[in-house]
Amino acid sequence: MDLESKAVSGTVEHEAARVAVTFGVGEWKTTEYPTAHRHFGWGSGARLPIDWIINFEEGVRLTVLSVGSFERCCQLAFYWGEWDIRLNPKYDTAMARGLYCLGFEDEAILSQLPPLSAHEKLELRLGMPREFWPQKWLDEAG
């Protein structure tokens, strides 16, 4: 494995861990593909299936995030240069909380999810290990 591959691998692993911590996933399984890794685990006390794909073809980025059971999940996906979301009221709040912790800022998507109160945002920030904070939080903290 060359130096660039090792760097990408480390970044992909860090991003996978960041998503896992956000949703309370302690252990997850990874399926490796040539340009992406797909991860699956159980979050929030082993009651909530979480499925996410991190693509590293053009930089490392989360491209699919599903919260809930496959057919009825709340799913965020990046297709053709745009984010799209499939909603499910049962999982929308968990998705909103997770996206906040990941530093997701697409207002067209966020406006479709339940809003978070200032108190909820503070609780979420305090509950996230600093090593997984999104850049926006790090900038605000100085």
* Pick from 6-10, 22-26, 46-50, 108-112: least confident: 6-10
* pLDDT tier at 45, thresholds 50, 70, 90: low
Q: What is the 8-class DSSP label of residue 116?
A: P
Domain total of the chain:
1
DSSP 50-91: EEEEEE-BTB-EEEEEEESSGGG-EEEEEETTEEEEE--TTT
pLDDT recorded at residue 3: 38
Q: pTM (2 decimals)?
A: 0.89
Query: By residue range, what is the domain housing residue 28?
Result: 3-141
State yes or no: pLDDT of 5 exceeds 60.
no
* pLDDT tier at 2, thresholds 50, 70, 90: very low
CA–CA separation, 102 and 114 (whole Å): 16
Burial of 3 from C-beta contacts in 10 A (0-12 / 13-18 / 19+): exposed
